[in-house]
Amino acid sequence: MADVPKNQGLNLTRYMYRMTFSKKGRAKFISHLDLMRAMQRTFKRAGLPIWYTQGFNPHPYIMFPLALSLGVESEIEPMDVALLEKLENEEIKSRLNMVMPEGIRIETVGEPVCDHLDIYRSDYEIIIKTDRPPEETLKFFSEFVSADEIIIKKRLKPKKNRRETHREIDVREYVKLLGIEASNEGVKINIRLATSAGNDFNLNYTPLLDAFSEKYNIDINYISAKRTKILCRNGENFI
């Protein structure tokens, strides 16, 4: 039966790899779900056979511990893959990069070290343009994220037949401004936000910017964002 992958059954040996890849330019519009398929095909093109999960509904073992929002770039998205072969890290990297879609590049290949649940924070570089002069935006934004309270609206799952509702929460402890500068290109913000691969609090920058825009009555008309770092609870990079 062809419905079952044929490299199954006896292949109990697998080699686990943790890779990081960057996702930039047009590739930032590839959704999480589509990325899975795109990666599978990339491995196929590279001639790197992926290990399939065993069991009733086998699927190729590729996993992304973190989701990256559509439209956001990244320098360091983690991806875990199980391969049927043991190969040099550099060889895997170069074979994949030769056949990657535009904008995606494997940056590192290695063995998994940390646990997914160790993931604690991400750093983002965000550029915004608003209807105010950049210096003014800078001043207000710095004020906004340095206050004792940072109130954002968190969307709650709408109950059946109800309108969408929001809850106000204070995200003070989940936000840390790392740097901010203004130029003609807009305001560049470096910021650290709570991130989790499990059930811990996960803070996206969008509600934060929405709250800022509302509080100061500032219209944001351009946003671009890039994830630059993923940190573990102990402060080290996630590897």
Structure tokens at 172: 């003070």
Site for other proteins in 70-109 (CB under 8 A): 70-71, 99-103
In the complex, least distance from residue 185 CB atom to other proteins, rounded to whole angstroms? 11
Sign of the CA dihedral with 58 first, then 64, 67, and 69 last = negative
Cβ closer to other proteins: 31 or 142? 31
DSSP SS3 for 32:
helix
In the complex, least distance from residue 144 CB atom to other proteins, rounded to whole angstroms? 22
In the complex, least distance from residue 1 CB atom to other proteins, rounded to whole angstroms? 7
Residues 194, 208 contacting (CB under 8 angstroms): no
Site for other proteins in 56-75 (CB under 8 A): 70-71
DSSP SS3 for 81:
strand
Of the candidates 44, 59, 86, 155, which one interacts with other proteins according to CB under 8 A?
44
Cβ closer to other proteins: 52 or 141? 52
Helices (H), the chain: 32-46, 89-98, 134-146, 205-216
Task: Tell whether residue 157 is a contact of other proteins (CB under 8 A).
Answer: no
Residues 71, 28 contacting (CB under 8 angstroms): yes
Task: Tell whether residue 6 is a contact of other proteins (CB under 8 A).
Answer: yes
Cβ of 209: how many Cβ atoms within 10 Å?
21
In the complex, least distance from residue 165 CB atom to other proteins, rounded to whole angstroms? 22
Cβ closer to other proteins: 35 or 150? 35
Structure tokens at 82: 């199980």
Task: Tell whether residue 3 is a contact of other proteins (CB under 8 A).
Answer: yes
In the complex, least distance from residue 97 CB atom to other proteins, rounded to whole angstroms? 12
Report the candidate in 200, 197, 236 with the shortest Cα–Cα distance to residue 113: 236
Cβ closer to other proteins: 35 or 109? 35
Cβ closer to other proteins: 35 or 79? 35
Site for other proteins in 183-222 (CB under 8 A): 222
In the complex, least distance from residue 172 CB atom to other proteins, rounded to whole angstroms? 27
3-state secondary structure 206-225: HHHHHHHHHHHCCCEEEEEE
DSSP state letter for 72: -
Report the candidate in 30, 47, 48, 29 with the shortest Cα–Cα distance to residue 38: 30
Cβ closer to other proteins: 48 or 197? 48
- Residue 5 neighbours by CB under 8 Å, 6+ apart: 52, 58
Interacting residues toward other proteins by CB under 8 A = 1-3, 5-7, 25-27, 29-31, 34-35, 37-38, 40-45, 70-71, 99-103, 222-224
